[in-house]
């Protein structure tokens, strides 16, 4: 039995790596349904990110990863044009699933929800996944060929 009926999480999901899979695993393990915010191309650029793949490719890659790793899971992928997307407006969202790195977003989200007379969400923090060198796994490091998607060091 899961703790929540509906949770939200999000990211750019440019190149799916072990860290992304752990975040999704955390979300699916605490809820029967997950809203996954997928950063739009415009919002990614605004945040200083330069995705290698455009939104439609990232959407398909994310969907394929979910189907492969979390079959029979209920989810919705929603385009994110701001930090929170449906997590602010959807009153049924009970928790926000985040990494250590983005844990503070829960406080901001709860302030926005209070302004809209929505109940606060619980913040579920999933620990960052570290590469073999003890530094976090990230798409940036993968693009630089420092590590692979599992965190193995590349020479």
pLDDT mean across residues, the chain? 95
Q: What angle do CA 3, 5, 9 make, to 5 degrees?
A: 90
Pairing of strands 33-39, 95-99: unpaired
pLDDT at 14 over 90: yes
Q: Is the pTM here over 0.85, yes or no? A: yes
pLDDT at 32 over 80: yes
Share of the chain above pLDDT 90, in %: 91
User: d(Cα 56, Cα 67) in Å, to the nearest integer?
Assistant: 17
What backbone torsions phi and psi does residue 20 show, to the nearest 5 degrees?
Answer: -60, -45
**pLDDT value at residue 86:** 85
């Amino acid at each position: 039995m899961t703790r929540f009926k509906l949770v939200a999480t999000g990211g750019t999901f440019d190149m799916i790596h072990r860290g992304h899979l752990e975040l999704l695993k955390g979300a699916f393990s605490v809820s029967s349904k997950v809203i996954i915010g997928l950063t739009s191309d415009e919002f990614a650029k605004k945040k200083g990110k330069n995705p290698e793949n455009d939104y439609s490719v990232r959407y398909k890659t994310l969907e394929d990863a979910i189907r492969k790793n979390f079959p029979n899971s209920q989810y919705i992928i929603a385009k994110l044009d701001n930090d929170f997307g449906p997590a602010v407006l959807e009153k049924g969202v009970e928790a926000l699933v985040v990494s250590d790195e983005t844990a503070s977003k829960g406080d901001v989200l709860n302030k926005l929800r209070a302004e809209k007379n929505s109940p606060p969400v619980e913040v579920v923090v999933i620990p960052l996944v570290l590469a073999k060198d003890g530094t976090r796994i990230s798409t940036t490091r993968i693009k630089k060929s420092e590590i692979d998607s599992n965190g193995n060091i590349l020479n």
